[in-house]
Each structure stands twice: as C-alpha cells, then as structure tokens.
A and B are shown apart, each in its own frame.
Chain A
Amino acid sequence: MTLTVVGGDGDFQAVEYPEVTESPRFTCALGGAYGAALATFGAVPILHSGAGCGMANAHGMTYAAGLNSGGACGTTTTPCSGLIEEHVVFGGEDKLRRLIKSTLELMKGELFVVISGCVPALIGDDVDSVVAEFKDQAPVIHVKSSGFVGNAYLGYDLYLDAVIDGLLEPPRAVEKRLVNIFGIVPNQNVFWKGELKVLKSLLEKIGAKVNTVFSDFGSLGNLKRIPEAQLNILFNPNSGLSACRKLKERFETPFLNFGRVPVGPKETAEFLRLAGKALKIPQKKIEGVIFEEERDVYRHMEYLAEMFMVSMPHASAAFIGDARTVVSLLRYGVNELGWIPSLAIITDDPPPETRDEIARLLTEDLEVALKPRVLFEYDSHRVRLALREEPLQVILGSSLEKYIAQKESEAHHLSVSFPVYDRLVVDRSYAGFRGGINLLEDMSQNFGGPL
C-alpha cells in the first residue's frame, strides 16, 4: 500500500506550529558547531553531549554533505562524553573534566573545541568553568550550542562567536590586502571545500592574500590571524553576518557582503570589481584578470553549447536550498544560461530581517521580465507540494528532490544543496568563472548522445 500526499493544490494555509516539519534541511546548532570545528583542520572537537549526537551528525550532516566522513577527527574519532542518566542525576562536569584531560593527553591537535549539547544545558553543567581549568594547558574554547537553540546555520555563527571571544586579540598591525572569507558554512554548504579553494585562488589572482579560516592547514594560526585582515568578505546574506559585525566592532575590520558565492563569469567579474575596489587594487589589473578568464570560459562553453541547446534550453527552473546557494545558482541560470526562474525555495530559515535582501537578490538585475516565486520553506512535504504547482524542466535542489523531480516533474535534477546523499562531493564546486561549466558537466551526466 502506498501513501499519497494530500492537498496537492498547495496546502499553504497558516499552521499552528510551522517548525513541526517533515525532514527539514538542516541539522541542529550542535551539528553546525561540530561541523565548523571539524572544518578547522587541526582542531579536535570534544562533544559534551549524549553518545549519539556525533554519530547522528556524521550520518545526518557530514554524510548528508556529499557523503563525507568529516575528515581526520570525524565520525567515531571525535571524543564525546556520552552522557547518560547517572550524569543527568549527578551532573556531567566531572565526566567532561576527565574527557578534556584525556583528550589533551591522547589526541594530536592545535586547538580543542568543547561543544556542549542539549543534555548539559538542561542539567545545568557549568561547562565554562570546566573549560577554564585547562586554559593554560592548551588552546581550548567552548561553544555552547545546545541542539534546541536553533539550526546548524546558527551553530556556525556560535562557533565563530566562540572563536572571536576565546581566541582573538587585537592585531599588532593590519596586513595590507589580507582578506578573511566568511559565509561558507561547512557541510550545510555542501561545496564548502571547493568553494573556499576557488575563492582563494580568485582573490590571489588579483593580488590579495587570503585566509579561508576553514579547511586550510594551520587551523589555530588561521583563526588567530583573523584580526590582521584588511577586509572581511562575506558570501552569505545571513550566516557569518554576526561574525563580520562583531569583528568590525572589535577590530574595526570593514566587511564586504557579496551575499552569495559568484557562479560563472558575469557574477565573478562583478565580485572581483567590488573586491578590487574595496582593497584599492588598480582597476586595470582586475579587468586584465576578468578578460583572460572570461575569454577562456566562453571559448570552452562553445564545446557544450550545442548539447545544452538540445537538453535544457530556456528551461523553467526551480532552485531549492539555503539562501546563498539559491541566489548563486539562480542568478547564473537566469543571467547566463537563459533559464526561466519559476521557483526559489529558501530552506535555511534565515532570520526575518534578512529576507527582503534575499528576495531582492533573487528578483533584481535579472535578464528576464519574469520574477520567480520566492518561498521561505524548509518542510520537505511543503516543498514537494510547491514543486507540483509548476511545470519544470530543471530542479536544482537537494537529494530529497531526486525521485520527485523524475517522477512528479519529469525534470532534470541535480543535488546541489543540503542534504546531498546521492553523490560524492570532495572539493568540487560551482564557484568562480569556470563554475558554470562544472555545473553543466554534472547535470548532463545522464544525458548522453546527440540523437
């Protein structure tokens, strides 16, 4: 017997508890902080939580981010206090103290990040005091990120907040043309490793020095160097914004908010011009880089253009994912590939004050009169109902849409946003000049033959 989904005509009446949802597209704040700590290569996360929080986030976060294991300290390697009933009764502080002590003795690490979950918060463990006992033994910080305080995007912000408060000192001097990258959320942005690499190399081409903060070797040094930057660049309308504001307040570092990762030559050129201006890099140098890169990309586009004009020309497209990813891909699809933007579904539950800006990025400066319908929705059932209302040829979303795209929409589908359980993503990305070509390569793998 098969269940059918009821209310196929768009069942969008207000509900009592909108947060009660079918398969939302994010894990919890603990997951976000844990993912950020794992992404700080050389840092050791220490979970102060139930025994399953790390495993749940291995299978529900790192594996959901393109089938990744979380790297050197991920899955079963991560220390975890594994709290049970007796700790609920007697407190978990002693258990945590023993765990930190033994972790410092046993594990290689430059930085130790205690991430506390629901249980210690609910039983009132004084985690800060326990962590403070180790301050002179090793760099140890605490991220208070109970799963119930919010989603993984918030967890990323909480991690950065703990880094700023726990590790950063005013710089001796600001390093000219050094920039930090923010807003690429490890795991929740499934292409995070590749995006950081591409953005770094782009900025280096125009003469900047780049601290990717995450993913590169030298975790502790990278974090400590954050205040030395001349500029912080934010690639997200929401995540990382609080960190950029705090860094401006504390170290007077200005920030440039591009609001998305540039995909394809048009967006990338626009980004480089803005970055060049902010870093006072001569315009001639910027234009030179843009000219060379563009020429190369469009030349290569000629190889795929004929196949593209057969497979998905002027396609009516739906974009489903976190705001940053949807903005990036919609702008590329509409402004460079000639797609019709039907639907943009934002799944990261951004705070209300950022939603107008997100809607603006999705509807302004588009090469088409038609504006997409913009929905802020993370309930997979409601996303499915919304997709049924539009005739679609392209669905760029998560792997949750994979079979729905084929069966209910007959659309071309590719998993590009969290969760991605159907493809391995290591350092692939769609960022930068060449990113669009990568996207079309990935989209076309099941569309073979000229006839």
Chain B
Amino acid sequence: MSENNENPAGADRINLEAPTSPTREQRANGITAFNGKASELAAKARKGELKNCERDFQQNAGCLLNFYLTVRVATIRDSSMVIHAPVGCSAPAALYREVFRRLFTAMNKPQDFDFHWLTTNIGEKDVIYGAADKLRFALEESHRRYSPEAIFILTSCASGIIGEDVEGVVSEVKDRIPAVIVPIHCEGIRSRVIQTGYDAFWHGILKYLVKKPEKKQKDLVNVASMLSYTWQDRQEITRLLKKIGLRPNFVPEFASVRDFQTLSEAALTAPVCPTYTDYLSRGLEQEYGVPYFLYPSPIGIANTDEWLRNIGRILHKEGEVEKVIKEERAVWVPRMDAVRRSFDEIKKRNGGKYHVMGSLGQGRLVTQTPFFHELGVTTPVALCQDFDDLLLDEVEELLKRVGDFDIVVNTFQAAEVAHTARRYDPDMVLSCPFQGSAYKREKGMTRIHALRGDGRKWSAQAGYSGAVACGNFLLQATKNRSFQNIMLKKTDDPYKEWFYRQDDPYYFHKKEAEGGV
C-alpha cells in the first residue's frame, strides 16, 4: 500500500533486533556537503556516487543528541529522560519547565504537564572506571522520584567512546522498574548527518515502546513533525483531519507514552517532514501494516490538496477529501491570490523578478520550493541541510516541475551560507533560526520558520491557513529592511573579504572523507 519505496537504500528492512538504526550514511548515502546543480546532485545520487567530504573549515552544527532530541524527548508526558553524558550535553533541555507553557491551553495544549529528566553527569572518574552504576542509579532514581511510564536513555559521545553497555544496564534493572526503558543511541560521533539521531530515536520507539495493536483505530492518523513546525501548524492539521472524520496522533512533542504505544493502531502515518518521518513510517508498516506516504507535506495550497488526497486514497475517503478541498480552496485561494498579486507588484518594480534563497531541511526542499512558486517568487539557489537517497524520486519530480536550480548542501555552515547569499545576491534570504550573522544584509532577510513553542497565527506554515500566513509573513518582510541594514553597516563581518571573492563557498573543502561513504 505504501508509496515511494522503490529506493534500494531506504527500502532495506528495518532490523529491530539491532540495538539501534544504521546511520544515514549507511542507510541512504547521506551527505552534508555539495555545491552544484540539483540535476547533477540527483544524477549522482541515482548512480550511488554521492561522497561525503571533510571540511577544513567547519562551524558549529549540532549533533545527533543535540539537534534536538534533548529538548524534544523531554516533552513526552508521563515519561522521564536520562541523559547518559557529561553535564553540558543536556544543558539545552533546561528550558523544559517553562518554555512550552507559553502556549495556551485554549489552543489544545495539554494541561498540567510536568516533565522530568536526569543527567548522569559523567565525570573524570567515570570515564576511567565506567558509569554503569550511575546509569543504573539514575534509572532507579527516576522511578523513585517520578514513577514514569517510560524512561528514555539518551547516550553521548563520552558514553560511546568509553564503551558503556547501556543494554546490559537496562536488562539488569528492568525487572525492578515498572517503566518501559527505551535506550536511544544518539552518540554525536556516530554520524555527520544529524538526521541519524531521528532514526535512532524512532528505532528506540519501534523496538521498545510501540505495542501490538489491541484494536485498529480507523480514524487515527500518526503525524510526526519537526520542532520547526509551530503550534499553529498542529492546530491546522487537526482542523483539516477533523473535517474528514480523522484524528491526529501527534508525536513526539507533548505525546503521552500511550500515544506512542498506540502508533500501531493507526490507520495511516502521514508526513509533515518526510525524511524525519521516514524511519518511523517504514517501521510501522513493516511491523504492523500501518500504511504511509512520504510526499508531499502540507506546505502550500497544492501540496496540501495532494496531502489530503493521499490520505483520502489510502483511507478510501476520496469523496470527502474532494469536498474539503473545494471548501478550503474557496476560502483560502482568493487570499493566496492577493498575496501573489502583491508579489507581482513588487516584481514589477524589481526588474520582473523576486529571488528568494531559502535555508531548508531536505524535507522542506521538496515541499517549500513549489510553495515559493505558488507565491510567484523564484528560487535561484536552495540551501539544504543534508541530502540522501530517501527523497530522490521527489527531487527528480521537482526538477521536472520547476526546472533545474542550484543547490548548496551544508549543515549550518554559516560561512558557506554567507558566501552563497553574497554570490547569488537574492532579494530575500530566508534563514534558519540561529544562523550566525545571516541577518546582516542590504537586501531582504527574514526567518524561514519559527519553532514549536510559537503559538501565533502569524508564524503558521502548514495547511491552507498556514500557506496564506506564510505568504503574508514573507510579504511583510519586504516592507522594511532597517534592522538588517543598520546591523550590516554598524557591525563587523566575522569573515575576511577575500573569502567572498572566491567563486566556491567550499574553498576549504577539499578531500573525500576517510572511510566516509
């Protein structure tokens, strides 16, 4: 029943006997560096010729653990988390008690959540003698303190290098602790591709937490989404599913342990971010026959139509879906047209074009690019966090639809991004949050997305209302550039000028990685 699984690498059977998932490099030839035409990238991927490269100059980018499993796993209700690591690895999760409370319960935020996590605080003695005793104590203490339904163990570079036997500790204590213990192997050193961390997380979920279905729930749709989709996006997806008689089972943020256990009972797994959801979707189909599709995400009007149609086709609700699409289009398409007309006006004053450069995840690459075209703006170059075989069909399809474009693959490499922005000089740069000095520009610049804790309608992206909100957001960004202009003028650029005069942003990027595929 599943679509899009012809790909040889991605279609490999998921081995739940193994302690963890393979890396993205092993599973799908994942890479984190490329500069060239999208057609060339796709052709190389098709021939299995993608190679990872070692950078001489490299910048902070996030790791398997901290992009951002710590923050996300900490939001799982009636569970607790144990970070088996030195104290700094868990630091980002220190916002667990307050940040998500900004959301309103009136917006279906779960009431009275109370999250807990522990760090084993690996110290100098532990790296010599091992920290298994501390991990055991942390699991027992978790139970004593919080009586959680599940305990997630997140591993680190340090626990990996010193060779901690996490599974051994788990089997030792599991009879004494009623909670289901879920080890997740997200050692930062495992992989260049941070999405390996997501696969490792889903592997733990599939292996330890998902239960055999007690009964199938015909109206339940699993939706796993990135932290980069806001609370409003959840609301919009819920609204649309409700109109065709379906309910979302959102994981992982704010899900309860039971929501994970019943992933197997759902009628379907639908994507918000395809490469993020990939491992879970395949695993649920393989183990429990839950059908799935990976493309498209509900970003933009046409993609949302198609997302709904896929759901309708798989769940035999074609008629209801067409009715909803018709109703929704009647409301939102005129508003989208208004946004496009405004961009048309801007284009008239701007030599007939409006160029946008977006920093995108792999999933956003294939969904956001057609959305930009809906707005009437063009994308001479796309920045992509990483790239692998999983979405190759979709990228080829995208090339057919929108034509060839340049693509720069890098994971948060701020200097390469700055170089690319200078080289292409687009009218608008849409940057990931936390992207160094990218906001300092003469021309337009704004953020490409907000984050889960943002409940404002202004920051919505998904579905029909999100498409219009996002279009309006971009339009608003064209109106005033004083902040980025003044910051550009009055503060120093961190990079020397000669770098920008090189043709290649990968000036420091020369050799193939040792042993890297």
Contact = CB atoms under 8 A, between A and B. Distances in A.
A56 B89 contact: yes
Interface stretch (A70-78, A277-285, A318-326): A70-78
Nearest to A105: B496
A369 interface: no
A31 B97 contact: no
Contact of A51 (B61, B133, B496): B61
Given A51-B63, A58-B434, A90-B514, A28 B91 contact: yes
Interface stretch (B134-142, B235-243, B363-371, B456-464): B134-142
A147 B89 contact: yes
Interface residues of B, number: 93
A311 interface: no
A172 B97 CA distance: 53
B484 interface: no
B256 A20 contact: no
A342 to B, nearest CB: 21
A403 B111 CA distance: 13
B116 interface: yes
A47 interface: yes
Contacts of B146: 3, 5-6
A25 B413 CA distance: 30
Given A21-B118, A23-B96, A149-B124, A57 B63 contact: no
Nearest to A56: B66
Interface in A148-206: 148-152
Given A21-B118, A72-B494, A88-B189, A106 B63 contact: no
Given A3-B148, A21-B118, A148 B189 contact: no
B515 interface: yes
What 6 pairs between A and B have smallest CB-CB spacing? A60-B91, A52-B63, A28-B88, A54-B60, A147-B86, A102-B57
A17 B137 contact: yes
A3 B88 contact: no
Given A86-B515, A119-B161, A421-B98, A81 B58 contact: yes
22 contacts: A1-B256, A3-B114, A3-B116, A4-B114, A5-B146, A22-B116, A55-B62, A55-B63, A56-B89, A58-B434, A59-B68, A59-B95, A61-B91, A76-B61, A80-B58, A81-B58, A99-B56, A99-B58, A107-B494, A147-B158, A381-B145, A400-B97
Among A3, A83, A87, A106, chain B packs the most CB atoms within 10 A around the CB of: A3
Interface in B38-93: 54-68, 70-71, 77-78, 80, 85-93
A83 B499 CA distance: 24
Contacts of B189: 50, 83-85, 87-88, 119
A367 interface: no
A84 B63 CA distance: 10
A148 B92 contact: no
Contacts, number: 288
A413 to B, nearest CB: 10
B157 A23 contact: no
B147 A6 contact: yes
Given A17-B134, A399-B98, A106 B415 contact: yes
Contacts of B117: 22-23
A44 B77 CA distance: 40
A82 B508 contact: no
A136 interface: no
Given A2-B114, A99-B56, A118-B161, 12 more contacts: A4-B114, A51-B63, A52-B61, A56-B91, A59-B71, A59-B434, A76-B435, A80-B60, A89-B515, A108-B495, A118-B86, A147-B85
B71 A123 contact: no
Contacts of A88: 161, 189
B516 interface: yes
Nearest to B191: A84
Given A15-B141, A19-B123, A400-B94, A31 B112 contact: no
Interface string A361-404: 00000000000000000001100000000000000000110111
Given A24-B121, A64-B91, A123 B66 contact: no
A122 interface: yes
A55 B56 CA distance: 19
Nearest to B435: A76
Contact of B87 (A24, A78, A80): A24
A214 interface: no
B494 A31 contact: no
A6 B144 CA distance: 8
Contacts of A266: none
B190 interface: yes
B162 interface: yes
Contacts of A103: 57
B470 interface: no
Nearest to A85: B189
Interface string A39-50: 000001001001
B405 interface: no
A20 B116 CA distance: 13
Interface string A85-102: 111111000010011011
B101 to A, nearest CB: 6
Nearest to A103: B57
A345 interface: no
B96 A76 contact: no
A27 interface: yes
Contacts of B256: 1
Nearest to A146: B86
A54 B412 CA distance: 12
Contact of A23 (B94, B144, B191, B492): B94
A276 interface: no
A6 B65 CA distance: 29
Nearest to A16: B137
B60 A51 contact: yes
B134 A419 contact: no
Interface string B350-362: 0000000000000
A421 B99 contact: yes
Contact of A28 (B86, B97, B149): B86
A54 B117 CA distance: 21
Contact of A86 (B112, B493, B513): B513
B82 to A, nearest CB: 9
A98 B58 CA distance: 10
Interface in A388-440: 399-400, 402-404, 419, 421-422
A151 B119 CA distance: 13
A122 B161 contact: yes
A57 B91 contact: yes
A220 to B, nearest CB: 15
A143 B87 CA distance: 18
A148 B61 contact: no
Interface in B486-508: 491-496, 499, 508
A358 to B, nearest CB: 21
A339 interface: no
A119 B91 contact: no
Contacts of B268: none
Contacts of B188: 50-53, 84
B494 A108 contact: yes
A1 B76 CA distance: 11
Given A28-B86, A55-B66, A86-B514, A20 B119 contact: yes
